Structure formats: C-alpha cells, structure tokens
Structure 1
Amino acid sequence: MDSKKENLNKNISYTSLVNRLTDLKSLATLPGKGEKSEMWSSYDRKSKVDSVTGEFIEWSANNDGLRPQFIRKEGNNEVLAEMTGPGAIVRIWSASPKDGKVNIYIDGSDIPIVSEAFIDYFKPSIPAFNFPELVYETNAKGFNNYVPITYQKSCKIVAEPGWGQYFHFNYITFNKEALVESFNPNLNESAKSALTMVNTFFAEEMGKNPSALELETVTKDFNLKTNSKTTAFKLKGKGAIASLKAKIKVINPEKLDEVLRKTILEISWDGEDTPSVWSPIGDFFGSAPGYNNYKTLPMGMTDGWMYSYWYMPYLEGAEITLHNSSSETTAVSLEIGKEELKDDDKNYGRFHAKWHRDLEPIKKERWPDWLLLKTEGKGRFLGASLSLWNPKGGSNSNAGEGHYWWGEGDEKFFIDGENFPSTFGTGTEDYFGYAWCNPSIFEQAFHSQSIDNGNMGYQSVNRWQIIDNIPFQKSFDGYLEKYFANDWPTQYATVVYWYLDADGKDPIKPTPADELFGYEIPYKVFKQPNALEAENLMVIENSGGWLNTDEFVHESMYKTVSGHKILFWTAEKNKKNKLITEFETEKTGKYEVYATIIKQADGGVFKVKINNQNIKNINCKSSDDSKYTERIKLGTVNLVAGKQQIEFNVLKDDKFPQRMWIDYFEFVEL
C-alpha cells in the first residue's frame, strides 16, 4: 500500500491522497515548499498573543467550546473554518456532535459538497463515510472521521443551529501549483476501491507492515547483563529500516516494568555523534509502564513482538545499540527489516524518537504549557506516546481553570516561529482522539489508550499523525497544557517522534538511568472496604438533567470520599427526573443498606427505591454553606442473587436545579 512520491506541481488524485493514510515511507521525505498542516478548533478564543509585544493573554483560558467557537456568524449560522487551497481536510473530531447540519463548501460553490447533521459525519450517512475503520466513535467517546475531503481553491465550513459542541478540522495544504482532484461524496470506483483497501487493512491486518516492500529480514538474540551495553546492528552504506521488532524475556516477571523502562534503545544515523533515537524500549513501542497489548498502524505490542513500521532511511550507515541499566539480566531479540535505497535521494529526513519527562521550564506567563518538543531545521512531526502518573485523579479547585482531571490541557503547535499556534486544541484527550475524560481502552489505526485506571493511576495514550503529519521548514515548538503540577502528583513521560534534516537541532538529551524508573511520587487513595461505589453503578435510564459518574470532589474531602469520585445527578425543572441504576449481588439475603452522601447548600431531596421497594429519602442539602460527607441508614431490603435496581426520583419542589451527590452504598448482611 506504498504510494509513489508525487511532484506537487503535478496532479494529486483523490486515490493517491487516500493512499497516504497508510504510506509511512513518504513521511521520511522532507517537506516541500508550501506544505502545511493546520487545524481549526473550538479552543477558547480568550487565549491570545499580542502581535506587537508577544505577550500571552489569558493563555490558560479553558472554556473550550463554551465561549464563541467560530470565526463569525452568517445570519444564524456559524462559520467554523475557512481554508485556501489546494488542500484537504484529513481529520474531523468532535466530543458532542448533534443533529444541526454542518455544510462544507469547496472551490467557491454556493452548494455544499457535504451537508449532513454533524452527528452523521461520524456514521455511514453518505457513501464516502461508509468505512467504519475511518469513521467511528472510539470506546472512549471520541468521534473521528479520517476520510479526506479535497479542494482546489478553497474550503468553508458552516454550521447551522443545533450542530453540537467541540470540533477539530485538521487540514493539509499543498504547494500552490498543485492540481488536486476535488472531493465527490458519491465515490467513483477508484476512490471507493482505495478507501475499501485501507478500511480492510485496518480491520483485518492491523499489526502487519502496511508497506508493500521487499525487505531483507535479520534477527539477532542478545543476553544483556545488568549495566551492559551492546551494539546490536551496525549497518553500512545506504538503506532503510522499514520494520523494527523486539521481544524481551526476564527471569523475574515482577521486574518486567523496570526492564522495559531501563533497557534503552539507541539508533544513530550516518555516523552522527548523538543518537537520533533514544528511548526506553517499552516506551519506544508505544505503551508504558509495563507491557500492554495494543495495535495501531505504525506501532504496537502483541503477544509475540513489539513492532514499529516507521520508515528509517540512512545514507552512510546506521548503528543500533541496546543498553541494560536495570538490575536484571535481560534476553532481547531484535528483528530488522531492511530495504535497499536504489536512488540518490538526499531529501530524506532522519527519524527521531526521544523520551523525556520534563524539558526546559516555561515562563510563568505561559502557564500551563508543558514542552513536548522543541526542534530546529526542516522536518515532519509524527505524534507522541504519553505515559502519565496521576494517582489522585482530579479536583475542582487545585488546578485553577484546568480543574476536574489531568486531560484538560490543549495542544499548541507553533510552526516556523509563528506568533500564534496554527494547531490549538481543546483538551489532551481530544488530541489523542477520545473525549469526556473517558479512560476506556481503545485501539484504532492512528491512536490508542492501552491502560485504564479510571483516570486515577497510570494512563498510556498514543496519537500518530500520518496523513495529518505536521511539516516544518525552520522549527517546531509543541506544547501540551498541563494544569496539574508534578507534586500534585501528575507526572508525564513522553516519546516524541519526528523527521529532521541532517543539519537540524535536536536538543533532547538522555535521561540519567536513576531517573528512568521509580520516580513517581507515591500517593494512596482512600477506599472504603466492601463498598458499592456509586460512580460504578450501571445507568439504565436518566430522564433528568446532567449525570456524571466521573465527578471528582474537592481535595479537602479526599480523606473521607472513597476513591475521590462520586455519582453526581442534577434534577431539572419540567423533566421527569428519574434515574434508574443497576448493580449485581452474588449472594441472596437480607441486608441493611447505608449510603454515604455529600451534603452541600444547593443539594436536593430524593426518593430512593431498591427493586421498587421504597426506603429512606436521601437529603443532600446542608444547613449552611459547608460541604461534608454523611453516612445514613436507608433501610432493610431482601435481595436475590443477580441484578438489582436502585431508582432515584426528585421530591416535588419549586426550586431547581436540585443536585445529588452519592459516594458509595454499603449492604450489610443480617
């Protein structure tokens, strides 16, 4: 599925652009003049940079999607994006698409080329979107569409009332002389075939090399003693590594996490003094800590091998080194797939992958930016693997505007010294393709989440920018907003991936061995033994208002609120206001039921039924402005092993909204 290199002054067919969805080889070619990759999004427009002084104004603003999230209004409609061609939309994302139409106009036409309810952009609503591996909602609630929408002269995206909330439109721009085949939602046979091939590969062959290359495969086995370093491969001449796989065995399985973090993979190209690839081997392959199975297009971990299919060319040789700084003797198998370079193309970039925890500190006025990558030269940014430690979960005060959880922070990518970032996102989880703080495991071709600890503990996420890679001519400065400080503790570790010309500057230095593993600041979360956590109840019906089962309490209540989370429900006026939940019990018997709730000034009073049996009401209203937990006895119930229901109804009251906070239930057998 490898597409040929194209002269940007010639025709770019729709089929050739679709092929870029799986074409990892072409990424190694340094960008030509006029190539760009940018994004329109619903970021908070209060964030600005003064064009004269360079002052960062309200740089931490976080009401993404709530303040005006459009360029301008045309009547009742909102203009969400405007682009000048030739180019293509290559990624559409949303957290909350609704039924209002979104219209895409191309090349100056008054008739939209696509006019669908925004929610239908993520369904097989038109023939071009009938590819479920490219158009989908992830397990973690993010809506994504990777079907390219091309245009020659221009593109304008206009939303009608009721379209929803939150959006990304990633788009690429070609050399101004390029001739691009414009998008047609009624696919011709060539376009349909190309999209079908990509969709089938993602559905049935994920984990295999997408490039149809003739590779020479070499496998070597190594037994690395502690604190040893060995040259695994020393390649001479000109060529490319198009497949790199690794397998690790340890005598003591309990030491695997340490070994994966403290076995370092280094790769140097063309005799360079400093390696372009420096990373703990587990992190390099896209998931940490530990070994967590997942499959994406360029990277993955399977029951057999960890794999990488990034294309890594070299003109004067390459050297791959393994360094075991762990306390364990480690067996490592490395397999490389080499391709001969038959041309004298000097326009290849060097593949870079660097691990770090924290780079240079950011000036106070730029808080909460956290530096992901800062590099100079010509190249392409390919994405990142992010591993984080966040044992407390979230809060509703400590992080200022970035409250509730770690992932509030936007991505901000400055290209070639631009004053304001041409990529400005709406949340860290949104960059990684999911939404609503959802920690569920998922894997798609271009992104994944391979660890689920309910946003309390470790998380591991990837985003690979393939067709939406970000070319730069002079520099790339990339940041993620990080609202929670290291000592919260919220601690990041990342591998960033990019191509860079031979004269470019890569300032990321190796991390000392004693700072690679075990650096996490410990924190023990209070958990009530044998409790039924309310946030874990299965929601069967909600005819009331806002429901959140991932609500973090104020940190002042961490010692008394189990798991730091609660079930939060807001009953609203003129609604039925019924909430039905479900749980399972293993043992038939008679039980006394207790509930631990949060009392606040704006709390309400709610009827409670268990299996249609009325028990004591829950009163969440405090007598003053204080917030505190209270354990109450609800009554006695008989349960038969299996599924049980808890139903909540608001008592009649003219005052709305009414709010309910429940921490956990206890069922004490009599």
Structure 2
Amino acid sequence: MSETPLPFNGLGLNLGKLSRLSNAESRSLCAENPTGAKSGGARAVPELDENGNPTGASRELGLGWKVRPAVPVPAGQTIEIANVEGPGAIQSIWMTPTGINRHAILRIYWDGQDQPSVESPMCDFFASPFIGGSNYHFAQLTSLAVCVNPGNAYNCFWEMPFRKHCRMTVENIGLDDFRLYYQINYCLTEVPDDAAYFHAQFRRSQPVERGGVHTLLDGVKGQGHYVGTAMGWQVNHNGWWGEGEIKFYMDGDTDPALSDGKSVAGSTGFPTICGTGTEDYFLGSYNFENKATRQYQEFTGPYAGMPHVVRPDGVYQSNTRFALYRWHIMDPIRFKQDLKVTIQALGWKRHGRFHQSMDDISSVAFWYQTLPTAVFPPLPDAAGLEIV
C-alpha cells in the first residue's frame, strides 16, 4: 500500500519524502505581492512626482523591476502583511526590519479569531532579544526552527496550518517609523483533522519578584503540545545564575497548600515535569563554561543554543545578558486540558546556599493547541519592552 503524501512540509518532514508529489499550491506574500495571488507579483509601478515623472530606484526601468521591495510601518500604526483564506499552512517566514526591533510587534490570528494566537516583539519571536535594542548586537543563530543570518535576517520554519483563515500583522509601538522587508511562503492545501494551531506568547519579569518565579505560560486551555522556549536573561547579581528549575504543570496539576497553610515554591505547586537547572534545560551543563578559556561559550544547534552573550565592558555595558533557545521538536510536551510553565531564577551565595535572584527575564513560549485561544496577558508598552 502506498503512503499518502504529506499535504504540507514542516519540521517533521523526512528528506526521504521530499520527492513525493502533492496537490498543494505554493504561494508567497511580500511587498511585491501583498495578496499572494497567482500571477500577482511584481505589479507595482513607480510612483510619480508632481510633474508626472517616475520616481524611485526603478524610475528608469518601470513595471516588474523591484519597485516595491519593502513596506513602511509608521510610528503608532499597524500594517497587515497576510490575509489568506484557507485551508493552508504557513511554511516559512523571512523578515528584516529597520529600527528598534523590540518595538515591532508580530501578531498572527487563526480562523477569524479576534484574539491573536501569536503575539511577540519581532526579535524575541526569532530568539534574538538583544538584537532588538537601541544598542545593536548581532548574533548568528542556526537551528531547525529559527535562523538569524547576517546582517539582520530573521527566518522561521515553524509549520503553521490553518483551516479557514490566516491574518498576520506588524505593529510599530515606537516613536520612529521603520521599514519592513518580508517574504511569507505558504501553501493552499487540505489540513488533517489532527493538525493543531501554532501559538507563541511573550512575557517579561522586570525583575523577577523576590520569592517568585518567572512565568513563561499560563491559562492555556485545550489539547496540544509545547514545542519551544526562547529567553532573554539579564543577570542582576555577581556569580552563577542558572540553577533555577523549569516546571511544566499540566492536566490538573494543582497548587496544594503545605500543612502550615503556606504554598510551595513561588505559589506554583507540584509539576508533572521538573527540570534540574537552567543550563540543563537548554541542553548545556556546568555554567555553559569553556574550561580552557574560563568564559561563557556561545553555541547554536538544531534543538538548543545560547547564541548570544552580551558581556560587560567595564563602563556603560554593566550587565551580562544571555539569549537562549530550546526547541522540543523531537520531544514535544503533550497536554490534554491545560498547561502552565514557570522557571526559577536561582544563583549561589556563601556556604553552599541558593540565592533567589531578581533578574530581568523575558521569554517567548511556543506551542500548538486546539482553538479557541485564551486571552493573553497585556503586552508591555514600549517603555516596558525597552532594553536598557
């Protein structure tokens, strides 16, 4: 019996199936074809000045010659970059914005929902939180789900099926205009009944409260699976910072009180899945340290990495900062009813005791689930997102 071809390609695609034919129809959205329509690309014509003469870099070439490669995103405005009728699936996204990338907010809406299923500053969505500030720091990232390439190219390969509709927007919450170059590749195809919807949510603890934990995700209802974590971690103390455990509470894990009526560890309770330390969760060990150089060692891999370490310079660059990611591509965390995810901020102090750190932590949680999408907590404003 022959195997049915996959309706769309994704992270789980076996290269041995790449030659299989499919009835899916390939489409692509960009500034040169904003609707993704068949034969809809390269139709822009050069704008005219007050005398009726063509302007712009293609003024001598005309129709079909790179007339509109980018779109403006004015300060305080939201633009729509995808409005697609399904069924289908987003297969890859390439973006490169100008300006402060943390002020560019990416949102994705599935099947006509008013609530976005994806909401994140653009740089954080691509696991590059410290690229997004006014002090530009580039770091290469190469993984299966996300790549960040020179000079500032964001790439995403998360598979994003939808049945009825896909809408994608970019909001500029900053004070300055910026331009956005983008390419969204998708296909029109049947979507299997068991295909879930892609979600991503940003959160920030600035700082983590004393005695508390950083919550990556809470309030998720429905069946699904958790597939990834991207974090930006600013250490606000000396010494090692990564002893904290990540915890996954799922399908009715409760918050029982202790015998004295007090709640356990950050009012969180007992999880089904509990990690052993921050660097362990991100698939490192022993401080992410290169023993030869006695320095933090950046690394990127298919499933996990620490692509970026921002080091103090002794003057104005006073904090150490880390960009981290962990993709659960081979080991998705399945839940049937609900999900909550937290991580502790723990370091060391004298006499072998843990230090509860008040670090500045931002995160994006990635997961798939059935609809509807629960309402997300309010996104911080521009000041609340700023990296200083």
TM-score (ref. length: structure 2): 0.69
Tell me if the contact between 2:25 and 2:189 (Cα under 8 Å) persists in the aligned partners. Answer: no
Question: Shift of the alpha carbon at 1:415?
Answer: 2.0
Corresponding residue for residue 324 of structure 1: 172
1:386 aligns with 2:231: yes
Q: Which has the higher Rg, Structure 1 or Structure 2?
A: 1
The structure 1 residue matched to 2:216, chosen from 372, 381, 389, is 372
The CA distance in 2 between the partners of 1:279 and 1:477, in whole Å, is: 18
Provide the secondary structure at the position in 1 that maps to 2:123: helix
SS of alignment partner, residue 381 of structure 1: strand
User: Does structure 2 conserve the Cα–Cα contact (< 8 Å) formed by 1:278 and 1:353?
Assistant: yes
CA contact (8 A) 2:86 2:188 kept: no
Aligned to 1:539: none
What is the CA–CA distance in structure 2 between the aligned matches of 1:292 and 1:454, rounded to whole Å? 13
1:228 corresponding residue in structure 2: 77
CA distance, structure 1, for counterparts of residue 344 and residue 80 of structure 2: 38
**Is contact 1:266–1:276 with CA below 8 Å preserved after alignment?**
yes
Within a 5 Å distance, the mapping from 1:402-481 to structure 2 comes to: 405-418=240-253, 420-438=270-288, 439-453=296-310, 456-481=319-344
Assess if the C-alpha contact under 8 Å between 2:10 and 2:159 holds in 1.
no
**Displacement after TM superposition at 1:512 (Å):** 2.3
1:4 Cα offset (Å): 6.8
Equivalent position of 2:148 in the other structure: 301
In structure 2, the partner of 1:24 is 11
Three-state SS of the structure 2 residue aligned to 1:450 is: strand
Segments of structure 2 that go 5 or more residues without pairing to the other structure are 17-23, 32-69, 132-137, 255-269, 289-295, 313-318, 348-353
Read off the aligned partner of 1:272 and give its amino acid letter. Answer: Q
In 2, Cα distance between the equivalents of 1:224 and 1:421? 43
SS at match of 2:287: coil
- 1-structure distance, mates of 2:368, 2:88: 16
Equivalence for 2:201: 354
State the superposition RMSD in angstroms: 3.2
Which of 272, 282, 285 aligns to 2:123? It is: 282
| Partner amino acid, structure 2, of 1:388 | W
Aligned sequence identity (%): 25
- What amino acid is aligned across from residue 216 of structure 2 in structure 1? L
Q: Is the 8 A contact 2:161 2:197 kept in 1?
A: yes
Asked if 2 retains the 8 angstrom alpha-carbon contact of 1:378 and 1:504, the reply is no
Whole-angstrom distance in 2 between the partners of 1:488 and 1:293: 28
Deviation of 1:370 after TM superposition, in Å, equals 2.7
What SS does the aligned partner of 1:261 have? helix
Secondary structure class of the residue paired with 2:286: coil
Are positions 1:315 and 2:163 aligned together?
Answer: yes
Work out which of the residue numbers 374, 378, 382 in structure 2 matches 1:509: 378
Residue in structure 2 matching 1:499, options 337, 357, 368: 368
Cα deviation per residue 1:376-400 (whole Å; 9 max; x = unaligned)? 2111101110001114332xxxxxx
5+ residue gaps, structure 1, are 7-21, 27-193, 199-212, 251-258, 395-404, 521-670
For the Cα contact (< 8 Å) 1:354–1:508, is it kept in 2?
no
How far apart are the structure 1 equivalents of 2:80 and 2:247?
38
Structure 1, residues 529-552: CA drift from partner, whole Å, max 9, x if none? Answer: xxxxxxxxxxxxxxxxxxxxxxxx
Post-superposition offset of 1:241: 0.5
Distance in 2 (alpha carbons) for counterparts of 1:262 and 1:4:
44
* Structure 1 CA distance for aligned equivalents of residues 375 and 201 of structure 2: 9
Structure-1 separation of matches of 2:364 and 2:145: 14
For the residues of structure 1 that align with 2:139 and 2:229, how far apart are their CA atoms?
17
User: For the residues of structure 2 that align with 1:299 and 1:393, how far apart are their CA atoms?
Assistant: 31
Query: Which of the residues 29, 49, 52 maps onto 1:218?
Result: 29
Alignment of 1:150-169 (within 5 A): none
Out of 483, 486, 490, the residue aligned to residue 346 of structure 2 is 483
Tell me the residue number matched to 1:246: 95
Question: 1:263–1:281: 8 Å Cα contact kept in structure 2?
Answer: yes
Give the match's secondary structure for 1:406: coil
Which amino acid in the other structure matches residue 199 of structure 2?
H
Any idea what SS the aligned residue of 1:461 has?
strand
Are the equivalent residues in 2 in contact too, given 1:265–1:277 (CA < 8 A)? Answer: yes
CA distance in structure 2 between the aligned counterparts of 1:5 and 1:416, rounded to whole angstroms:
33
Q: CA deviation at 1:511?
A: 2.2
Shift of 1:492: 0.2
Give the conservation status (yes or no) of the 8 Å contact 2:214–2:361. Answer: no
How far the C-alpha of 1:217 sits from its partner, in A, is 2.4
Per the alignment, in what secondary structure is the counterpart of residue 289 of structure 1? helix
Cα offset for 1:373? 1.1
* Aligned with 2:184 (options 336, 354, 373): 336
Residue 242 of structure 2 aligns to a residue whose secondary structure is helix
What is the Cα deviation at residue 351 of structure 1?
1.0
Q: Distance in 2 between matches of 1:458 and 1:340?
A: 41
Q: For the Cα contact (< 8 Å) 1:432–1:448, is it kept in 2?
A: yes
Could you tell me whether the CA contact under 8 Å between 2:282 and 2:324 is conserved in 1?
yes
Distance 1:414 1:431 in 2: 16
Q: For residue 444 of structure 1, report the CA deviation from its aligned partner.
A: 0.6
Q: Partner of 1:408: helix, strand, or coil?
A: coil
Conservation of the 8 A alpha-carbon contact between 1:385 and 1:496:
yes
Tell me the secondary structure at the aligned position of residue 282 of structure 1.
helix
CA displacement at 1:505 relative to structure 2:
2.8
Q: 1:500 corresponds to which letter in structure 2?
A: Q
Residue number in structure 1 paired with 2:60: none
Query: What secondary structure sits across from 1:462 in the alignment?
Result: strand
**How many residues of Structure 1 are paired with residues of Structure 2 in the alignment?**
298
Q: Give 1:302's aligned amino acid.
A: N
Deviation at 1:225, TM superposition (A): 1.8
* TM-score, L = length of structure 1: 0.41
Q: Does the CA contact (< 8 Å) of 2:224 and 2:334 recur in 1?
A: yes
Q: d(CA) in 1 for partners of 2:10 and 2:171?
A: 31
Aligned residues of 1:377 and 1:505 also touching (Cα < 8 A): no
State the Cα distance separating 1:244 from its structure 2 match.
1.0
Letter in 2 for 1:512: D
Aligned amino acid, residue 230 of structure 2: S
Q: Quote the Cα distance in structure 1 between the aligned partners of 2:189 and 2:378.
A: 30
